[in-house]
Structure 1
Amino acid sequence: MILVTGGLGMIGAHTARALLDLGQEVVVTSHRRTAVPSFLTGEVAVEQLDVTDRGAFLALRERYDVSDIVHLAGSIPGDDPVAYFRTDTTGLFNALDAARAWGVRRFAVASSLGVYIGRGESPWHEGLSLPSAELPHLIVAFKKAVEPLTTHGLQGSGVQPVVLRIGSTWGPLMDPESPFNYIPPYISAVLRGEKPAPLYADDGGDSCYAPDAGRAIALLLTADTLSHTTYNVSSGRPMRNRELADALQLPCKPGGQPNPHLDITRLTTDTGFTPQYDVPQAVAHYVAWRADNPR
């Protein structure tokens, strides 16, 4: 059985769905969120768990024979950065303790494409050295710290660490007014009958539809062997705003330039992953989902 912490969040839920599709049994944890998405209802075990509670985390083993862990649980920073770092570091350490104590095969943890900030080239690949750079958000700073904490924390344990440098992901279950990705708010405005301001046609960058991100992570957890510790998780191609606007039959403004995107050669080579959704397919799927779901 595979444990997915934060498994009712956007990426966690789609990872759980993909693991089920690969024939795995799955238990997901959630702290505050209680609503189980329709595509998981009745198919996963759900545990209400605060991952900062070490005793409760380790007690999961009394109920489940966990073979692998995907640690995606995290919080949103408030006014106190130290409190945020303390909360999410405690959750990470408890997950690492569990991985070591239970002797799981693999421990995958969420990092971010933000670790590459400061590199001017594109696409970004895992062989690049990570620069010292001013980071735009506390979450990115924490994700960058997660990588050595995880790899060093598992040394000598026999547990294989898998660092997931997750790209810009959007889709079902994301906050439709998310400040972290402009696509759901843009589509939400269209669904309300509004006409959002035209986007610059050639702006854009890394973008991955959530079901594809979940499937990539699931393939990394279930692959017979992995040749690396760190993997980019995304679509492997830059999205341009004209693709989004065309899918919604909206006009664009000329100009713009895409941001860097993630190279997924390593992911594809080791798992066979290729994205199932292009931009028009993702938009159509998301619009259909939102017809029956608030987020």
Structure 2
Amino acid sequence: MTTHDPLASLDGARILLTGGAGLIGSRIHHRLRQVGAQVTVLDNFSAYDDSTFELLGVDRTSSEVVHGDVADEDLIRSLVGESDYVVHAAAYSTVAGCTTNPAIAFASNMAGTDIILRAVAETDSVRRFVFISSAQVYGNGTGGDQAQFFTEEMPTAPLNLYASAKEWGERHTRQLLTKTGTDYTIVRPFSVYGEGQVPKPDAYSWVIAQFSMYAALGQELPLINGGQAIRDRIHVDDAAEGICRAMVAEGASQQILNLGTGTATTVCEAAELVQGHFPQAVVTDAPRLGQDPLGGYASIERMSAALGWTPEISLGQGVARYIAWMNDTPRAIPEWLRKEKNRVSNWSAQESK
């Protein structure tokens, strides 16, 4: 018996995927190709070095790949005008990077989003626009020092430039596309992890990748604020599936949807899962970072109803998959991380800047 693919209607559809060479974007691209979609990947290839793009399975020479920037208005108008769907995943995406380079962050995350949205609003060909926002828009929520259960109806309270830009992008999407009658869906991914994720300096939130690599190198696993922060960790394959379904699901029309598992996991529990594969790994306390949200987990009731789906990969399964991939791909561990020493002291210094 053949199971109907919920994305079957995308067979032959023309899809513009911005940021399609990143961790999530590359998985979206792979999933869309499975159903026969005609995907154009737009990326400026600034997020990683060539070796990381290779690990993500990105072929920069492919006819489907356009090396360009969302700030190139002429290019965007041309690509959008040839598209049935637009998925906007491109972003300058680390909190530390946005704080250090606000001009670059503005050009990518706000000006670039505006250019994409205006192009979408001005064409009749686009059936739905999907904006990839972030759970960071919730900030610390409304519970003081308590971890939160985030629902889409909660007020947003971003704590950093990256989250503020995402909140603005959500508002701009609703205001601009509602006015023109263009369909849209906004998704708020929680903590995405999975095979292919390579840590960046100062990107403190990529805990599964960082802890796995630290453990493999015999380095300590730093627990920020004692490891009590809560996160909702969703595997990248599940995140990509949810985003793809948001393109076509009738219930996702003009909705804001959390994209998470609905399961709360502390950083300490994540470390323990990694220690299950590396019993010799040790943990150490690290200071809390001021722009890092206290954390929480997603209400997924609206997402499940809209998409007719819930994530399938448990955190234990996802950690095992990541470590197996890392062990099979030791070159994935970046050289800067291999050389890093006195990590907790370094983090304290960064926090004092």
Task: Report the TM-score, using the length of structure 2 for normalisation.
Answer: 0.72
Counting aligned pairs with the same residue, the percent is 24
Q: Give 2:133's aligned residue.
A: 111
Distance 1:239 1:96, change over 3 A: same
Name the CA distance, whole Å, in 2 between partners of 1:60 and 1:115.
29
CA contact (8 A) 2:99 2:161 kept: no
Q: Kindly report the root-mean-square deviation, in angstroms, between the aligned alpha carbons of the 2 structures.
A: 2.9
Q: 2:122 is paired with a residue of what secondary structure? A: helix
- 5 Å matches for 1:52-91? 52-60=71-79, 65-75=82-92, 76-77=97-98, 79-91=100-112
- 5 Å matches for 1:186-265? 186-196=211-221, 203-226=229-252, 228-240=254-266, 241-242=268-269, 244-249=271-276, 250=279, 259-265=295-301
CA contact (8 A) 1:4 1:26 kept: yes
Q: Give 1:166's aligned residue.
A: 189
Query: Is 1:95 the counterpart of 2:116 in the alignment?
Result: yes
Name the CA distance, whole Å, in 2 between partners of 1:229 and 1:276.
22
Shift of 1:202: 5.7
Q: Give 1:16's aligned residue.
A: 29
CA contact (8 A) 1:245 1:252 kept: no
Q: 1:261 is paired with a residue of what secondary structure? A: strand
Distance 1:225 1:153, change over 3 A: same
Structure 1, unpaired ranges of 5+: none
CA contact (8 A) 2:229 2:295 kept: yes
Distance 1:203 1:158, change over 3 A: closer
Distance 1:243 1:209, change over 3 A: same
Shift of 1:27: 1.6
Name the CA distance, whole Å, in 1 between partners of 2:38 and 2:108.
28
Stretch deviating more after TM superposition (28-37 or 7-16)? 28-37
Q: Give 1:5's aligned residue.
A: 18
Q: Give 1:277's aligned residue.
A: 313
Name the CA distance, whole Å, in 1 between partners of 2:325 and 2:213.
12
1:279 alignment partner AA: L
Stretch deviating more after TM superposition (262-271 or 165-174)? 165-174
Name the CA distance, whole Å, in 2 between partners of 1:59 and 1:37.
30
Q: Give 2:179's aligned residue.
A: 156
Distance 1:80 1:160, change over 3 A: same
Shift of 1:40: 5.8
Q: Give 1:294's aligned residue.
A: 332
Shift of 1:247: 4.8
CA contact (8 A) 1:112 1:166 kept: yes
Distance 1:78 1:246, change over 3 A: closer
Q: Which string of whole-angstrom CA distances, capped at 9 and with x for unpartnered residues, describes residues 160-208 of structure 1?
A: 1211112111223333243232221111112224353578576532211
Name the CA distance, whole Å, in 2 between partners of 1:280 and 1:230.
28
Q: 1:2 is paired with a residue of what secondary structure? A: strand
CA contact (8 A) 1:189 1:195 kept: yes
Q: Which string of whole-angstrom CA distances, capped at 9 and with x for unpartnered residues, describes residues 243-273 of structure 1?
A: 55235414788xxxx8311111111111122
Name the CA distance, whole Å, in 1 between partners of 2:109 and 2:220.
39
CA contact (8 A) 2:91 2:109 kept: yes
1:144 alignment partner AA: E
Structure 2, unpaired ranges of 5+: 1-13, 284-293, 334-353
Q: Which string of whole-angstrom CA distances, capped at 9 and with x for unpartnered residues, describes residues 128-179 of structure 1?
A: 233xx4x432101111111111111112323112111121112233332432
2:109 alignment partner AA: D
Q: Which string of whole-angstrom CA distances, capped at 9 and with x for unpartnered residues, describes residues 20-69 of structure 1?
A: 3344332211102563556565998111111101001122257xx41111
Q: 1:123 is paired with a residue of what secondary structure? A: strand
Name the CA distance, whole Å, in 2 between partners of 1:53 and 1:95.
10
2:87 alignment partner AA: V
CA contact (8 A) 1:66 1:102 kept: no
Task: Report the TM-score, using the length of structure 1 for normalisation.
Answer: 0.85
Between Structure 1 and Structure 2, which shows a larger proportion of helix residues?
2
Q: Give 2:159's aligned residue.
A: 136
Stretch deviating more after TM superposition (228-237 or 170-179)? 170-179
